[in-house]
Amino acid sequence: MTTADFAHLMRLVAENYPCTESDYPSLHGMSPEDRAAFVLRHNALHFAKSAGAVATLSEKVDHGAPLNMSEVQPLVIKALVNAIKLGEVAGMTAEQIVAQTEAFFGIMASSMKEVAA
């Protein structure tokens, strides 16, 4: 995935999950700082829901149910969407997310190009 691909995913999330007063009436009259705190808190709730869904599936498997990856795959997408939304809330660009992820793993962008070549 290129940075441009990731930027495309970020645009999809921003366009499909805007935080507007029509969707969240409690945003009305909030300061920009309070709005940011609300969106951050709301995003944390979505992370908790995603983690709970994974835990529910895992718990069923622990009790003998078969592991069905087709049930796991939509949860991967939801988790990715939540992470992308969190990046948006933090004011990060696709370039920043990619660069900081590479740095987190100790990978320099130039060495990634060498591996791909």
> Structural domain boundaries of the chain?
3-116
- From CA 41, how far away is CA 34, in angstroms rounded? 10
- From CA 17, how far away is CA 9, in angstroms rounded? 12
pLDDT-derived band at 8, boundaries 50, 70, 90 = very high
CA 93 to chain centre: 13
Beta-carbon contacts of 6 under 8 Å, excluding residues fewer than 6 positions away, are 94, 97, 98
> Could you tell me the two tokens for 88?
């948006």
Residues in the chain: 117
pLDDT-derived band at 106, boundaries 50, 70, 90 = confident
pTM above 0.85, yes or no: no
12-62 tens-digit pLDDT: 999 999 999 999 999 999 999 999 999 999 999 999 999 999 999 999 999
